[in-house]
Amino acid sequence: MTAQANGSPHPRGGLYFEDFSVGQLIRHRLTRTVTQMDNMLFSNMTLNPQPLHIDAHFCATETEWGRPLMNSLFTLGLMIGISVNDTTVGTTIANLGMTDVRFPAPLFEGDTISVTTEVVSVRSSKSRPDAGIVEFLHRAYKQDGTLVAECRRQAFMRKRPTV
């Protein structure tokens, strides 16, 4: 992680609003190899019957990929999840939204993803003096450096408590 906190992080490890600055880039330490089980469980838990994710025969005979694609919403969730330990664990109040979600290249079983987070904007809340809004740009790459996912996420963040 290239981020430096301006004070002590939250006891769980998350950074407070004041610890973020525009342009800051965080290279997350956690990586994850995705599996067929991830794809099957996520697709089934979300009631998504898309054969593009769960039917190897369909993919082999009827798609350009020849094998199942990882469910894009799983990829999105994993990308953001990987970022949490280094950014918002214990310090986020709520996610306000996600925009500009893109999946520019396919992700398959056996690929390993790594994630970076760039701080795009930071502003104090107009309604809550104890909070602010941080906009993150999350990017996920597979093992060969190919960008497979990205999104902007607006998080409502706690300011460091005054004691």
Distance set, CA 98 to CA 54, 126, 134 (Å): 26, 20, 12
Q: What is the pLDDT of residues 109-154, one digit of tens each?
A: 999 999 999 999 999 999 999 999 999 999 999 999 999 999 999 9
Query: Which of 118, 97, 114 is closest to 149 using CA atoms?
Result: 114
Domains of the chain, first to last: 17-158 (3.10.129.10)
In this predicted structure, what is the pLDDT of residue 35?
Answer: 96
Residue 158, pLDDT above cutoff 80: yes
Mean pLDDT of the chain: 92
Q: What is the pTM of this model?
A: 0.89
pLDDT value at 2 more than 70: no
